[in-house]
Amino acid sequence: MQSVDRAVSIMEILARRGEAGVTELAAEIEVHKSTAFRLLGALEARGLVEQAEDRGKYRLGFGLVRLAGSVSMRMDVPQRSRPVCRRLAEEIGETVNIAVLRSHYAVNLDQVRGPAAVTAHNWVGQLTPLHATSSGKVLLAHLDRWHREDLLRAAGLERYTPSTVTSVEDLERELAGVREHGFALSLEELEVGLNAIAAPVRSFHGEVVAAVSASGPAYRFSEERMRETAPALLRGAEEISHRLGG
């Protein structure tokens, strides 16, 4: 942890100064010059710092742009997706949400209510369990298996309703279906009487960065009705992906 703290301190110094040499950096973080050189070597290998030409000084590298891009992408998702979500809410007739992965939850960034008198409540800003929501299943399905296992281990598979999937094996089978068919369903798994369907939103790198979902009361938004709306939701997810550069 000390090495990580020192490496971060070096990047903060370079962000403040613009450029600095090994001796200057070592003095400021109070380490031997050889230690500072090793830290800079590790950061340089990742593209996080680079050497200024012929001056023996270091500056921040373009690898930081890659890291910052993932954050700016998440911040950009609600703005770029809202026109599509408005259209989907009218077309499908139910409430539409955009969610992203945060720790071991799905967090809803934006919501457009459907035209029906009875709609889902406001989910914006709420953290929802990955295994019991359609958005969460989409986000889980497209993670590396080791990452998915870590998240599920940290979160657990809490039972919210009699329909909640609480078996890792059953969930993995369902997630395989999500990858095959392109969408996920939640059938009264988070709340009794609430159904939802979600599809993946991809970045320009092709990575799944968000999920767009439609949700409504089970008596109206049945499994059959959700499957009927799946093509529209998939088209909407593809359009949002295109707006994000995907």
At 126-142, the pLDDT tens digits run 889 999 999 999 999 99
Q: What is the CATH number of the domain that holds 42?
A: 1.10.10.10
Are residues 90 and 56 located together in one domain of the fold? no
Domain boundary among 33, 61, 89: 61
Are residues 98 and 56 located together in one domain of the fold? no
Residue with tokens 């550069």: 245
Structure tokens at 151: 């998240």
DSSP 8-state code for residue 204 = T
Are residues 167 and 45 located together in one domain of the fold? no
Q: State the angle between helix axes of 134-141 and 145-155 in degrees (0 to 180), rounded to the nearest 10.
A: 140
Are residues 13 and 81 located together in one domain of the fold? no
Q: Which phi and psi (to 5°) does residue 66 adopt?
A: -60, -45
The domain total for the chain is: 2
Residue 43 sits in which domain range? 2-61
Report pTM. 0.69
Q: What is the CATH number of the domain that holds 221?
A: 3.30.450.40
Return d(Cα 242, Cα 246) in angstroms, integer: 5
138 and 198 in contact (C-beta within 8 Å)? yes
Are residues 122 and 10 located together in one domain of the fold? no
Q: So what's the pLDDT on residue 4?
A: 84
Q: So what's the pLDDT on residue 155?
A: 87
128 and 121 in contact (C-beta within 8 Å)? no
Domain boundary among 61, 88, 103: 61
Q: Which residues pair with 184 in a beta bridge?
A: 198
Q: Average pLDDT in the 191-218 region?
A: 93
Are residues 84 and 10 located together in one domain of the fold? no
Domain boundary among 41, 61, 81: 61
Return the HEC string of 164-184.
Answer: CCCCHHHHHHHHHHHHHHCCE
